[in-house]
Amino acid sequence: MTKETLLEGQVLLIDKPLTWSSFQAVNKLKYALKRHYDLPKKFKIGHAGTLDPLATGLLIICTGKFTKRITEIQAQAKEYTGTITVGATTPSYDLETEVDATFPTEHITEALIQETIKQFLGEIDQKPPVFSAIKKDGKRLYEHARAGEEVEIKARKTTIHEFEITRIALPEIDFRIKCSKGTYIRSIAYDFGLALQSGGHLTALRRTKIGNYSVENATSPEDFVKNISNAI
């Protein structure tokens, strides 16, 4: 990696740590790259698809002229692994907020879980979580939610290409999902709990792939910065 290749364009694969925002990860790299390679003030760098702070995994960061490819990369199918905890819901559909209701789970069997998956394959209608960054009336949905304002959220089409259950240890259900751009896995967790005639929320999430890019080839932001320092 050189100053010239960074300006010309690079695709950097980062394994985003838990609690980090995607913005934090980009800034960490931006600061390190600018300092070590003496890059211009207006050096372009950006990520191809936000990951929530409570999620880990693949964050694709583009530099220089490759920032023009961000939209193209974002449009590719994504793969996630994670855990749905049944028997309880939260307003954010994940661990960002406290449990607001509990439900029975005694009736949930492996056969019911496998049968319920079928409802989620192919093109489905999905409502984004109220705690999301989508804008409504000029404000982010999470801003409305934190202000206690009720807003009507329209369902949108999304496609689930693959949905596999990898472990059942109730109340936890581990999964692997391959889906189209714009799919909210938190909403899948909530809707899946509902379809099981219980409740559900997302308690772990990891993005493993975007198109042909895999988290197996990614590095943590800290290791990335260390490698830059050692290379100079």
3-state secondary structure of 21: coil
Contacts of 103 (CB under 8 A, 6+ apart): 86, 87, 88, 89, 193, 198, 199
Q: Which of 207, 203, 125, 120 is nearest to 169 (CA)?
A: 203
**Burial (CB count <10 Å: 0-12, 13-18, 19+), residue 59:** buried
Residues in the chain: 232
Helices (H), 48-200: 70-74, 110-117, 141-146, 185-195
Q: Is position 52 annotated as part of the catalytic site?
A: yes
Q: Which two tokens stand for residue 120?
A: 């989620």
Q: Name the active-site residue from 15, 38, 52, 174.
A: 52
The amino acid at 127: K
Q: Which of 156, 153, 131 is nearest to 142 (CA)?
A: 131
Give strand pairing partners of 80. Answer: 177, 207
Q: Among all residues, which ones are annotated catalytic?
A: 52
